[in-house]
Chain A
Amino acid sequence: MSEKNLDRRHFLIGTIAAGVAGVSAGPVHDGELGAPPQTFRGAVPWQEGTADAPPEASGSGYVYFTPAEATFIEAAVGRLIPNDPVGPGGVEANVPFFLDRQLAGPFGRGDHYYLGGPWPRGTPEQGYQGRYNPAQLYRAAIAAIDKYAGANLGAPTFAALAAADQDNTLKGLESGEIALDGGVDAKSFFAMLLQNTKEGYFSDPIYGGNKDMGAWKMIGFPGAHYDYKEWVSRHGEAVPYPTVGLKGRPGWRKARS
């Protein structure tokens, strides 16, 4: 699916049909913008098969990132959350795939951003004031950071830098000490990249990151359990529930087969 033809409603239909928790394809209930006007009188409305189930990431490989962009993202995510025996790194948790699907979808298009002009820079307290939607910001920023590395650090790209130099570059973006070309606000981009990376690391695996729920297991979050009543008063005890996501866990599949 390309960025342009990925219409949100079709996206929902497509992924619901692909099967989330037994929800069958049917009239789509859109919890957000653009539903048709409706009038309700005399009863609480309810319609079978219209649950507003979440859109699942699907497929493999990158659909938004170019090969050069993917190289940058894998390098940067690997420094933001490095891999070691304590827990998975961002790359090992499939965060680059998560980011790709997010940028290819409604988030990348800025479906929850107001992007109208004019666009003065504003104060830090006024938050994001760019004209770019998130997908555009990533595209412009990655090119600008690779250009910065080439012009100032003697490497063809950010990914070609030694780990320590990558860290220093990320710190320079984080603090805003590094200025980027292409109308990219370095601090805004870094903040978005870090936030989205943590989202991919810790969100439900249906979105393509948090592979095998490894990030949840690392910290001890049991996932999408719905009833902890029994444990409220059992102070100081470790809850022994196995980690579970919205689609279940590997043990469920074993039990079925």
Chain B
Amino acid sequence: MTTTLKSVDAVLVGFGWTGAIMGQQLCDAGLHVVALERGPWRDTATDFATGFAQDELRYMWRHHLFQNVSDDTLTIRNNVNQEALPMRHLGSFLLGTGVGSGGVHWNGQIWRFLPTDFLTKSHNQQRYGKKAVSDYDLTVQDWGVTYEELEPYYDQFDKVCGTSGKAGNLKGEIQPGGNPFEGARANEYPTPPMPQTLGPTLFGKAAAELGRHPFPHPTGNLSEAYVNPLGAQLGACTYCGFCEKFGCGNYSKASPQTTILPYLMQESNFTLKTECEVLRVELTPDRKRATGVTYVNSAGEEFFQPADMVILSAYVLQNVRLLLLSGIGKPYDPKTGEGVVGKNYAYQTMSSVNVFFDDKILNPFIGAGALATVIDDFNGDNFDHSGLGFIGGAYIAGMVTGGRPIEMIYTPQGTPAWGLEWKHAAAKNYLRSFSLSVHGSCMSARGNYLDLDPTYRDIHGRPMLRMTFDFTGNDHKMSDYLTDRAAEVAKAMNPREIKVNRRTGSWSVVPYQTTHNTGGAIMGDNPKNSVVNKYLQTWDVPNVFSMGAGAFPQNAGYNPTGTLAALAYMSADAIKSRYLKAPGPLVRA
């Protein structure tokens, strides 16, 4: 039996970064908002206090803050000729759950995409010809939004987080010490960049000697204490080296908990319900309007929550699945290329280079999620791709997120994985090694998509999401070229030796790579090529909005959170200034 609840102005499905942003924005506009989160409540003092936050086994390897896949996972395969099988254990990506979700256990790497990243198809086609954007069955698109339109909202997110960094382009003027390739910023970062440890410092020197343009990584691990516009207070980072995969016990990492919830949770028109999983969005018989959502709580009780607006603010994979399960938009068919829901799933193409010294102590345990010196010379279209056979690029970061010993001991090329030789290599190199991360783009392609699995079902009896994905020739060529550029910097650091970890073969679910899944609910300028318009409003059901990186038509060579947060703020602005006055499509199809 389903209990029907009192209607609200807006229901949020999922309560991580985009849920918190939309909740705060819509409550400030006077709306009554209910957020439904399938995981538990989480706060700093209770769930990741400094007394026990630095526990590599529990959080990283036993997945204490991650989505528990035992009753709901997804199925995976590399191509349509394979049978998709369940992801039985987390590996390649570490999905979030609970209040704050991935915003609790992210690194805090806050990036803006390049102006040309929003014009992936038209820009590259104009500069390199039609083949550049169609080889390898690429299906890249323009976003339908420009960097200039998004800039105020990137700025808004920076101010909420207190992002630490150095601007490289202020209102068109290139600034020394920042990223000279970035799009123009209206304002400097709210807080100064983090000071760097020895490894990133050596990386920056070597990169500069090669003529590159090193700068400190923009970070949500704060360099100094900060009070944001919502009155939330963050402390200065203590470099404990437990950010990614961990919650910050020190209130130093920007997260929904540290930046928005202290304000939002006190709003009388906001209600949060935890352990409540939304099963589907309910539509009117003509399927043109959502009436609300049906959810089930951890006690097994089912409810219908009527709402004037439904905001899908869960993770990419859940948002796409809910669209498919609810019949919103036409599912994508890779055979015909028709349909849009599930289209252009993309990921991140990662590789690395390890550097080993004899004579330098690097203290890798002094780390932070975004403690790095970076070069952006070979990202996006910051360099001439003529004759290279690929589009896109990567940032290369000399990064120390920490020195957690189960995960982060680097051993030289040819070292066995166990035995005395391994132990000796670990003992010799732990304090004296360093890793360069190559954080590459992933261009969408015809065969990479999301749909519903025909065989496997979750605990509620719903089909699991099926992911069909492999890296394309474009990704491999890009990654090889970029990994070579990273190896050049590594050698210029004058180490004893280096080890190059290329991105080879098919995508595997086993080794951790990154939780940057994108696409499947992509944005665009018309309903034929996209699920949502530039305000993240679904074309087919105008009172349903789909947040997050699902809107990315392909993935750029940066971490996604800055961009998906900016998109959420832009959506909220359009809802407040236009939609509420005249509910209906914000862009005419």
B189 at the interface (CB under 8 A from A): no
- In the complex, the answer to whether B427 meets A229 with C-beta atoms within 8 Å is no
Q: With the chains together, A239 CA to B409 CA distance in Å?
A: 18
A32-B40, A113-B88, A199-B57 as given contacts; A47 in contact with B46, CB under 8 Å: yes
- In the complex, the answer to whether B509 meets A39 with C-beta atoms within 8 Å is no
Most chain-A Cβ atoms within 10 A of its Cβ — which of B69, B238, B365, B508?
Answer: B365
B58 at the interface (CB under 8 A from A): yes
A219 at the interface (CB under 8 A from B): yes
For A58-84 the 0/1 string (1 means CB < 8 A from B) is 000000000000000000000111101
- In the complex, the answer to whether A127 meets B250 with C-beta atoms within 8 Å is no
For B334-373 the 0/1 string (1 means CB < 8 A from A) is 0000000000000000000000000011010110000000
Residues on B with C-beta less than 8 A from A238 are: 361, 363, 431
A185 to chain B, nearest CB (A): 12
A33-B68, A82-B419, A202-B406 as given contacts; A232 in contact with B195, CB under 8 Å: yes
The contact of A219 among B52, B76, B270, B405, by CB within 8 Å, is B405
The contact of B43 among A44, A112, A113, by CB within 8 Å, is A44
The contact of A87 among B57, B276, B423, by CB within 8 Å, is B423
A182 at the interface (CB under 8 A from B): no
Q: With the chains together, A235 CA to B431 CA distance in Å?
A: 12
Q: With the chains together, A228 CA to B49 CA distance in Å?
A: 17
- In the complex, the answer to whether A20 meets B273 with C-beta atoms within 8 Å is no
Most chain-B Cβ atoms within 10 A of its Cβ — which of A44, A114, A167, A221?
Answer: A114
Most chain-B Cβ atoms within 10 A of its Cβ — which of A118, A167, A228?
Answer: A228
Residues on A with C-beta less than 8 A from B508 are: 124-125, 127
A215 at the interface (CB under 8 A from B): yes
Residues on A with C-beta less than 8 A from B77 are: 123, 126
- Which residue of chain B has the shortest Cβ distance to A196 in the bound complex? B61
Q: With the chains together, A222 CA to B504 CA distance in Å?
A: 35
For A18-36 the 0/1 string (1 means CB < 8 A from B) is 0011000000011111111
- In the complex, the answer to whether A51 meets B49 with C-beta atoms within 8 Å is yes
Residues on A with C-beta less than 8 A from B58 are: 54
Q: With the chains together, A256 CA to B65 CA distance in Å?
A: 35
For B464-480 the 0/1 string (1 means CB < 8 A from A) is 00000000000000000
- In the complex, the answer to whether B261 meets A41 with C-beta atoms within 8 Å is no
Residues on A with C-beta less than 8 A from B51 are: 21, 51, 53, 246
Residues on B with C-beta less than 8 A from A34 are: 298
Residues on B with C-beta less than 8 A from A197 are: 418
A172 at the interface (CB under 8 A from B): no
Q: With the chains together, A26 CA to B576 CA distance in Å?
A: 44
Q: With the chains together, A127 CA to B508 CA distance in Å?
A: 7
The contact of A228 among B90, B270, B365, by CB within 8 Å, is B365
A32-B64, A216-B405 as given contacts; A21 in contact with B57, CB under 8 Å: no
A86-B427, A113-B88, A114-B70 as given contacts; A36 in contact with B298, CB under 8 Å: yes
The contact of B57 among A46, A116, A207, A222, by CB within 8 Å, is A207
A46-B46, A86-B423, A229-B236 as given contacts; A127 in contact with B68, CB under 8 Å: no
B203 to chain A, nearest CB (A): 13
Most chain-A Cβ atoms within 10 A of its Cβ — which of B45, B47, B57?
Answer: B57
- Which residue of chain B has the shortest Cβ distance to A49 in the bound complex? B46
A128 at the interface (CB under 8 A from B): yes
- In the complex, the answer to whether B87 meets A87 with C-beta atoms within 8 Å is no
Residues on A with C-beta less than 8 A from B419 are: 79-82, 167
- In the complex, the answer to whether A219 meets B426 with C-beta atoms within 8 Å is yes
Residues on A with C-beta less than 8 A from B418 are: 79-81, 170, 194, 197
A252 at the interface (CB under 8 A from B): no
- In the complex, the answer to whether A46 meets B266 with C-beta atoms within 8 Å is no
- In the complex, the answer to whether B46 meets A38 with C-beta atoms within 8 Å is no
- In the complex, the answer to whether B506 meets A125 with C-beta atoms within 8 Å is yes
- Which residue of chain B has the shortest Cβ distance to A39 in the bound complex? B273
Q: With the chains together, A39 CA to B40 CA distance in Å?
A: 11
- In the complex, the answer to whether B89 meets A32 with C-beta atoms within 8 Å is no
A37-B298, A126-B77 as given contacts; A43 in contact with B265, CB under 8 Å: yes
Residues on B with C-beta less than 8 A from A106 are: 62
B554 to chain A, nearest CB (A): 22
A6 at the interface (CB under 8 A from B): no
A17 at the interface (CB under 8 A from B): no
A52 at the interface (CB under 8 A from B): yes
- Which residue of chain B has the shortest Cβ distance to A215 in the bound complex? B405
The contact of A52 among B47, B89, B238, B510, by CB within 8 Å, is B47
Q: With the chains together, A87 CA to B273 CA distance in Å?
A: 50
- In the complex, the answer to whether A116 meets B55 with C-beta atoms within 8 Å is no
A35-B298, A37-B297, A232-B366 as given contacts; A220 in contact with B70, CB under 8 Å: no
- Which residue of chain B has the shortest Cβ distance to A35 in the bound complex? B40
Residues on B with C-beta less than 8 A from A20 are: 52
- Which residue of chain A has the shortest Cβ distance to B98 in the bound complex? A31
A218 at the interface (CB under 8 A from B): yes
The contact of B363 among A38, A195, A231, by CB within 8 Å, is A231
- In the complex, the answer to whether A221 meets B403 with C-beta atoms within 8 Å is yes
For A203-229 the 0/1 string (1 means CB < 8 A from B) is 110010000000110111111111111
A33-B71, A220-B430, A235-B198 as given contacts; A44 in contact with B509, CB under 8 Å: no
- In the complex, the answer to whether B276 meets A37 with C-beta atoms within 8 Å is yes
A114-B69, A207-B57 as given contacts; A125 in contact with B64, CB under 8 Å: no
Residues on B with C-beta less than 8 A from A236 are: 198, 360-361
- In the complex, the answer to whether A203 meets B406 with C-beta atoms within 8 Å is yes
Residues on B with C-beta less than 8 A from A79 are: 418-419
Q: With the chains together, A104 CA to B299 CA distance in Å?
A: 27
B382 at the interface (CB under 8 A from A): no
A165 at the interface (CB under 8 A from B): no
The contact of A40 among B50, B70, B271, by CB within 8 Å, is B271
- Which residue of chain A has the shortest Cβ distance to B295 in the bound complex? A37
Residues on B with C-beta less than 8 A from A33 are: 68, 70-71, 298
Residues on B with C-beta less than 8 A from A32 are: 40, 64, 68
Most chain-B Cβ atoms within 10 A of its Cβ — which of A41, A84, A126?
Answer: A126
Q: With the chains together, A140 CA to B76 CA distance in Å?
A: 27
Q: With the chains together, A144 CA to B216 CA distance in Å?
A: 53
Residues on B with C-beta less than 8 A from A37 are: 273-276, 297-299, 301
B566 to chain A, nearest CB (A): 26
- In the complex, the answer to whether A203 meets B57 with C-beta atoms within 8 Å is yes
Residues on A with C-beta less than 8 A from B62 are: 106-107, 112
A233 at the interface (CB under 8 A from B): yes
Residues on B with C-beta less than 8 A from A113 are: 69-70, 88-89
- In the complex, the answer to whether B240 meets A225 with C-beta atoms within 8 Å is yes
Q: With the chains together, A80 CA to B420 CA distance in Å?
A: 8
A39-B272, A226-B240 as given contacts; A203 in contact with B56, CB under 8 Å: yes
- In the complex, the answer to whether B57 meets A204 with C-beta atoms within 8 Å is yes
A33-B70, A54-B52, A122-B85 as given contacts; A38 in contact with B273, CB under 8 Å: yes
Most chain-B Cβ atoms within 10 A of its Cβ — which of A30, A113, A125, A227?
Answer: A125
Q: With the chains together, A42 CA to B266 CA distance in Å?
A: 4
6 new A-B contacts at CB < 8 Å, known A32-B64, A81-B423: A29-B47, A32-B40, A112-B69, A126-B509, A216-B405, A228-B241
Question: Could you list some 5 contacts between A and B, CB below 8 A?
Answer: A46-B45, A194-B418, A229-B236, A232-B196, A236-B361
Q: State the 7 A-B residue pairs at the shortest beta-carbon distance, nearest first.
A: A203-B57, A37-B297, A219-B430, A235-B198, A227-B238, A125-B508, A202-B405
